[in-house]
Structure 1
């Protein structure tokens, strides 16, 4: 997601059901605008092999980065054959195989674009889909230049701003989602064709086209007779297709999450579920079908949307009841999904802060990304040999606090503190550094004094918030 005051996408977030953080990482970018390279931090998700991934488009670190459950980078993925990565989507299977989208720019003057208005100079952005193995070796490649001979005739954006915004780059397809199908082929979403296509994994032949000018399906029970400018198309084992229908071409434009039952032989798409609360997310967005029958929807949007930030996540019951809605007061997200995740970074420690300006003085403690913490044990003491339990707290949110009263009130005294993170069995899985109030005597580097901790030569030093720095 991006900060509300900065156009750059800066944050990767894992949240709980209340919207509170479980893990976060903030990148240091503050500039770049909505089209600059540093805008392109996107597509943070949990993959099919239970690893996290995101894409970074800055020149010095371009590609998809894969993190393990300790939030350490274990793999970087870039397209083969020198193609530029397309930030919209990438999938990893359980066996480590990758399905990605890349851009193949071709000289416009050498293309048949007689059906399009405007300048023929510059380049057209074609689409390449690649499958890589677990060692990042290319095993399959598909190109829109070889298999979509009518791509310019079928585009729906010839008269809109995308052709006038930057006349040197013609974005006529805008591939934004790719996925394996249950029968071993490939599904590709082409937003600016308002079309989803199924590609033969062996031959590259387009098996069918759904939506857009070249639609081959008959839509049943769908009041809009199809979708427009869609995102996040997925074909499920039961033969159902889900996607996020941005709805840009409707009047008025309204977005919805839809699910179709497909008869691929007869080319029939029957709408079996939809949800449309009157929101319009002009760009981005996602639709997830959950195991319990609910649907998770991210409503997308665009930077500077005059209607304000759209909900970045809604959960909808099968009968259309909205069970959960999350939104930022300012800011937005690219996609969101509900998934189980366990993580812990044992190279870091729990963070412990002492606020002596509060009344009473208060400890604040957390551990970024540590999902296995069940309880916090707060310890205090006056010497190095013995500590006392101040409090045991059930972990219910990212950060907890303990007000220090009575004998543990550190004001004018040298009481030192530490917190221990406990799992469900009561085992210590992490311990913070020891901290002490500014009233403690100075501690020399060569050893402890009688009444304080061992690692702080400056009595005014305070423990700073830990930040996970991705390697």
Structure 2
């Protein structure tokens, strides 16, 4: 049985075009025909969110207290910003941002859970100049993270903002460099995007490690085709296109490069590439079903396997995008397929973006990037459920535990004999109750009414002189209160 918020999707017209270099021009764009139903809230008429439809394949999403974190975007979408929803797709936090937001996730800083996302400008499609924002569990900003040293401040790219247990962040940047492009069919005085990976101390902004792709990976490794109208200072050739940076088990860094089809294990001290998986210079023989193309989000898992999101598209290589779990034997130099995670439709090709997350229970959560869906699978690759965004695309999708009580009070409006109440971002509200009487001293609390989604309607008896509303947790404790406006 499908679970839905409002109306189902009316139409999705995705155009995932690529640049002349065959690479990243689709990295952030998807033209979307927006469906007619967008949730509207009396208590927060300024907020809108995509209409998300969840369909069940083998098991409905488990109500385990975790949330889904998204950064919906695209022209015409009801929201460009940060969105947290529950397992049914019902909004919990709707946060519009001036620019598009990327890589929205729950992480840990100094032993405490935080929420992070990228915001900034995107002068070139698929690349960004900005910073990562860090907020606490009341949504107060506590830090920002960006580039430094040999890269100008404010050039942190959209693709990665990963916090480490050492209080540092792994980020990336794209920097123009003039170079001889004849090895890839370009001019001697051409221009290329050099890809920079930095490790930055969150508290001080000090750059602890900096790595550049041109120092370690040759132009000839690219899978992108050079175009006669590229390779200029205005349009540098995008030969590498870093899109994820993660710690490996031994402390080295796993760097995924979309445009070389390669994953690189990089020594954290010297910057030396220890091994390459995939692409033109693979140190591994790829077993049946392993070869990936235009991939994203390469990570080492606790069991030693390596996971990634295999786009297979832009330009198209295979019939569908998919998730992959691979076993690497570094001594033998082999990579074998452990599990393949396939979408419910046979041709869900994502020309850009995408993510794969292994959940604490062993399930796998996939965001389909430029295709506006996210899905959960069991560890063996069986699809459990699939969700469709009513509009807009999304860089990465995560499912994680997140508990928050906003610094701002709830919002409530008295209209037509009822109070409409919401608390944008609050995760622990189980019920609401009215407090009414002749004055604040004489007011009495009514019976709790179960929270019914982002906004709850509370009927009002009579015309009390004093009226307030309280938010209660599952134990009946008061989390916050407010006086309705009218």
Higher Rg: 1
Query: How far apart are the structure 1 equivalents of 2:376 and 2:484?
Result: 42
Is 1:191–1:228's contact at 8 Å kept on the other side of the alignment?
yes
For the residue of structure 2 that corresponds to 1:74, the secondary structure is strand
Query: How far apart are the structure 2 equivalents of 1:398 and 1:434?
Result: 16
Distance 1:216 1:324, change over 3 A: same
Query: How far apart are the structure 2 equivalents of 1:3 and 1:195?
Result: 28
Is 1:55–1:65's contact at 8 Å kept on the other side of the alignment?
yes
Q: RMSD of aligned C-alpha atoms?
A: 2.5
Aligned to 1:23: 93
Structure 1 residue ranges without an equivalent (≥5) = 30-37, 302-308, 436-461, 463-471
Is 2:342–2:381's contact at 8 Å kept on the other side of the alignment?
no
1:169 to 236, 243, 259: 236
For the residue of structure 2 that corresponds to 1:115, the secondary structure is helix
Is 1:417–1:434's contact at 8 Å kept on the other side of the alignment?
yes
For the residue of structure 2 that corresponds to 1:228, the secondary structure is coil
CA offsets per residue over residues 139-197 of structure 1, 9 Å max, x none? Answer: 1121112222x2x1111112479948996221111100001111110000000001100
Query: How far apart are the structure 2 equivalents of 1:85 and 1:402?
Result: 45
Aligned to 1:192: 259
Query: How far apart are the structure 2 equivalents of 1:434 and 1:227?
Result: 55
Aligned to 2:174: 103
Does the alignment pair 1:47 with 2:107? Answer: yes
Within 5 A, what are the aligned runs for 1:49-448? 49=109, 50-58=113-121, 62-81=130-149, 82-83=151-152, 84-107=155-178, 111-118=179-186, 123-134=191-202, 135-148=204-217, 150=218, 152-159=219-226, 163=230, 168-222=235-289, 225-248=290-313, 250-277=316-343, 278=346, 279-301=348-370, 309-311=371-373, 313-345=374-406, 347-356=407-416, 361-395=417-451, 397-404=453-460, 408-410=461-463, 415-435=465-485
Is 1:162–1:170's contact at 8 Å kept on the other side of the alignment?
no
Query: How far apart are the structure 2 equivalents of 1:100 and 1:162?
Result: 30
Query: How far apart are the structure 1 equivalents of 2:228 and 2:90?
Result: 38
Deviation at 1:4, TM superposition (A): 6.2
Distance 1:95 1:72, change over 3 A: same
Is 2:266–2:273's contact at 8 Å kept on the other side of the alignment?
yes
CA offsets per residue over residues 206-238 of structure 1, 9 Å max, x none? Answer: 00111111112112242xx41000011001232
Deviation at 1:380, TM superposition (A): 2.3
Aligned length: 399
Deviation at 1:328, TM superposition (A): 1.5
* Structure possessing the higher relative contact order (Cα contacts under 8 Å, 6 or more residues apart): 2
Query: How far apart are the structure 1 equivalents of 2:267 and 2:79?
Result: 35
Deviation at 1:319, TM superposition (A): 3.5
Deviation at 1:409, TM superposition (A): 3.9
Higher deviation after alignment, 260-269 or 157-166: 157-166
Is 1:122–1:168's contact at 8 Å kept on the other side of the alignment?
no
Query: How far apart are the structure 2 equivalents of 1:161 and 1:280?
Result: 27
Deviation at 1:130, TM superposition (A): 1.2
Deviation at 1:133, TM superposition (A): 2.3
Query: How far apart are the structure 1 equivalents of 2:229 and 2:86?
Result: 37
Deviation at 1:374, TM superposition (A): 2.8
Structure 2 residue ranges without an equivalent (≥5) = 1-70, 123-128
TM-score, length basis structure 1: 0.79
